[in-house]
Amino acid sequence: MKTLLIIDAQNDFMPGGALPVPNGDAIVPVINAIQHKFDLVVASQDWHPSNHVSFASNHPNKAEFDEIEIFGKLQTLWPDHCVQNTQGAAFHKDLNTSRWEAIFRKGTDKTIDSYSAFYDNGQIKATGIKGYLKEKGTTQLYLCGLAADICVYYSIVDAVNAGFECTLIQDASKALDAKHFLNLATTLENKGVALITSDTL
């Protein structure tokens, strides 16, 4: 089964949001145009409590984009974003969600961040998406969304490790740091991930 996984296409990651990805809204029409090409469409949604450990505002004397250590891993401190039940956490208003069969929320544990749609950053808590996709019969997993160099990247790595054949749809994804993503793209290709554009679907 050919499945599309849309990562975090939420208002706070769009221009004007709390943590905007440059030209992030450009992916919306692309995602809308390709959904009919898939047997199954699912999405992930960043869904943080307001006291989340990744928010710089919750750390006195720390600034946004500083780094601290959590569970032995470096954690970037972000602006408050995708707080549960806020407009910033909602999906972009122009995104067609009618074909989505499931939404997997992540980052709900205040003590640890969760870039991947599969697990938190410590690989402690699973979202359940792995089992869901396997039960649905997913073999080919196509990923897109925001941000390509963070949540999309880590989701692909976990998906590959889970045994899925993965493809990144590049024009349906945007990176927070485009230069950094160029290096990550090479890493993904070395893992056997195909990098395509939507016109080849």
Residue numbers annotated as active site: 8, 106, 151
CA distance 181 to 104: 24
Q: 3-state secondary structure string, the chain?
A: CEEEEEECCEHHHCCCCCCCCCCHHHHHHHHHHHHHHCCEEEEEEECECCCCCCEHHHCCCCCCCCEEEECCEEEECECCCCECCCHHHCECCCCCCCCEEEEEEECCCCCCCCCCCCECCCCCCECCHHHHHHHHCCCEEEEEEECHHHHHHHHHHHHHHCCCEEEEEEEEEECCCHHHHHHHHHHHHHCCCEEECHHHC
CB-based contact 89:82 (threshold 8 Å): yes
